[in-house]
Amino acid sequence: MGNEPGRKRLVNSVLPKDVALFAALTLAYFIGARLGLKLALVQPLATPIWLPAGGAIAAFIVFGYRVWPSVLVGSFLGHVTSLGLVSTSFVVPIGATLEGLVGAYLVDRFAHGVKAFETARDVFLFAFFTCICAPSINAAVGIGIDYFGRHANLADSALIVLSWWVSHGIGALVIAPFLILLFGSSHHRLNVRGFVELLTLLVGLVFVCLLVFGPLSVSLNKHHIVRAWSCVPFLIWAAFRFCPLEAAGTALILFGTAIWGTLHGYGSFVSRNMTISLAVLDSFVGVIGTSTLILAAMVVERRRMEEELLGVQSLLLADVEGKRRALAESVQALNVEVAGHARTKKSLQDKEKQFRLLAAKTESRQGSSN
């Protein structure tokens, strides 16, 4: 979908239906930016996760680079309505747009774009480009804003920008795969049994998440016997039994609950220092999120190899069956030919016998006449 001709241009002719798309993307980024800025509880502009970063990369990969005005305008509106007409409201949207463009280009160029979650190699490249390379652009913008705009010392600015970098990378890892898989690739239909299994998985995951990161951690899990790693089997379950879309959605539910719970004082990641809590949380999200996507991709690769092997096996069986039939037909033709030769031989033998009888009769007649 994202690789169709003309969709990867920065400037392209705008059709009437594109206006609705641009408006929807602008509104989505605006809402995401406003929600993201409300999570900046420790440091200004530094949040535990910046979901619009993933939304921008997903939009560029799925709909093409031509939607960059939606990201730019949405980011500007989100910041200017929260911070006012300050320099940050003008500079940050430019960095956000460049971040999304660079991340999407690298994924398109080296990780097969919307098909980045079909192989473990492409998933690793996706995580590297979108969580490390692309956020460095916004990090550079951030250190410029904090150091030159607020005249802070370099050490404090570096710490703030590092948290900014991590929040953008985690946002890309959490939200981008789900959106790309949801809007950029075809989906398989679940039968009744598969739907019931998925529903069971989600109910179990939500319950465990509430035990670990929700209000139930205070009542039913006050001694923290059930830890965050208890949620991992559900991700493995989703990766093995379903497709990458379900795996990414399951991870999104887990990480959303973990982030909400940590910010509200629930869960094993909570500590007296909120910065440390967010750092541990981001580490958990980064490691588990990448591992889940890689595992789901490995399962997809295995299934594809099995299908290819089954296809080759079917071709070989069909070839063997065809050659068996051809051999049977050849044997039958040879049998018919042998039977024909036998009949011809018998006919010749009969004629030879008749000829000898006739010759004997002729000789006896000639002897009688003499």
Domain boundary among 300, 322, 344: 322
Beta-carbon contacts of 366 under 8 Å, excluding residues fewer than 6 positions away, are none
Q: What is the pLDDT of residue 92?
A: 84
Q: What is the pLDDT of residue 313?
A: 79
Residue 329 in any domain: the answer is no
Which H/E stretch holds residue 282? helix 274-369
Which of 46, 47, 73 is CA-nearest to residue 59? Answer: 73
**Tokens for 269?**
């990641």
Chain position carrying tokens 């109910």:
203
Query: Mind listing the pLDDT tens digit of every residue in the chain (370 residues)?
Result: 444 555 666 666 556 777 888 999 999 999 988 888 877 665 555 677 888 999 999 999 999 999 999 999 999 998 888 878 777 778 888 988 999 999 999 999 999 999 999 899 999 999 999 999 998 887 777 666 665 655 556 566 666 677 778 888 988 998 999 999 999 887 778 889 999 999 999 999 999 999 988 888 888 877 778 888 888 999 999 999 988 999 999 999 988 888 888 888 888 788 777 777 777 888 888 889 899 999 999 988 888 888 888 888 788 888 888 888 888 888 888 888 888 888 888 888 878 788 878 777 777 777 666 5
Domain span including residue 211: 190-322
Residue 356 in any domain: the answer is no
Tens-digit pLDDT profile for residues 226-253: 888 888 999 999 999 988 999 999 999 9
Q: Looking at the structure, tell me whether residues 6 and 148 fall in a common domain.
A: yes
Q: What is the pLDDT of residue 111?
A: 92
Q: Looking at the structure, tell me whether residues 112 and 257 fall in a common domain.
A: no
Which of 76, 80, 67 is CA-nearest to residue 14? Answer: 67
Q: Looking at the structure, tell me whether residues 205 and 169 fall in a common domain.
A: no
Q: What is the pLDDT of residue 165?
A: 83
Q: Looking at the structure, tell me whether residues 140 and 74 fall in a common domain.
A: yes
Q: Looking at the structure, tell me whether residues 180 and 112 fall in a common domain.
A: yes
Residue 3 in any domain: the answer is yes
Q: Looking at the structure, tell me whether residues 100 and 138 fall in a common domain.
A: yes
**Tokens for 3?**
């690789």
Q: Looking at the structure, tell me whether residues 167 and 260 fall in a common domain.
A: no
131/12 Cα distance (integer angstroms): 28
Residue 368 in any domain: the answer is no
Domain boundary among 132, 158, 186: 186
Strand locations in 70-115 (E): none
CATH code at 112? 1.10.1760
Q: What is the pLDDT of residue 164?
A: 78
Residue 99 in any domain: the answer is yes
Q: Looking at the structure, tell me whether residues 182 and 196 fall in a common domain.
A: no
Asked whether 51 and 255 are in contact (CB, 8 A), the reply is no
What's the structural domain count of the chain? Answer: 2
Q: Looking at the structure, tell me whether residues 225 and 253 fall in a common domain.
A: yes
Beta-carbon contacts of 270 under 8 Å, excluding residues fewer than 6 positions away, are 262, 277
Q: How far is CA 365 from CA 42, 355, 369, in A?
A: 136, 15, 6
Q: What is the pLDDT of residue 142?
A: 66
Residue 370 in any domain: the answer is no
In this structure, how many other beta carbons lie within 10 angstroms of the beta carbon of residue 293? 27
Question: What single string gives the DSSP state of each residue in 322-366?
Answer: HHHHHHHHHHHHHHHHHHHHHHHHHHHHHHHHHHHHHHHHHHHHH
Q: Looking at the structure, tell me whether residues 58 and 8 fall in a common domain.
A: yes
DSSP β-bridge partners for residue 46: 43
Q: Looking at the structure, tell me whether residues 6 and 116 fall in a common domain.
A: yes
Q: What is the pLDDT of residue 8?
A: 66
Q: Does residue 270 sit in helix, strand or coil?
A: coil
Residue 230 in any domain: the answer is yes
Which of 12, 105, 5, 17 is CA-nearest to residue 56? Answer: 105
Q: How far is CA 48 from CA 98, 101, 155, 259, in A?
A: 21, 22, 20, 8
Residue 96 in any domain: the answer is yes
DSSP β-bridge partners for residue 182: none
Domain boundary among 136, 167, 186: 186
Q: Looking at the structure, tell me whether residues 59 and 124 fall in a common domain.
A: yes
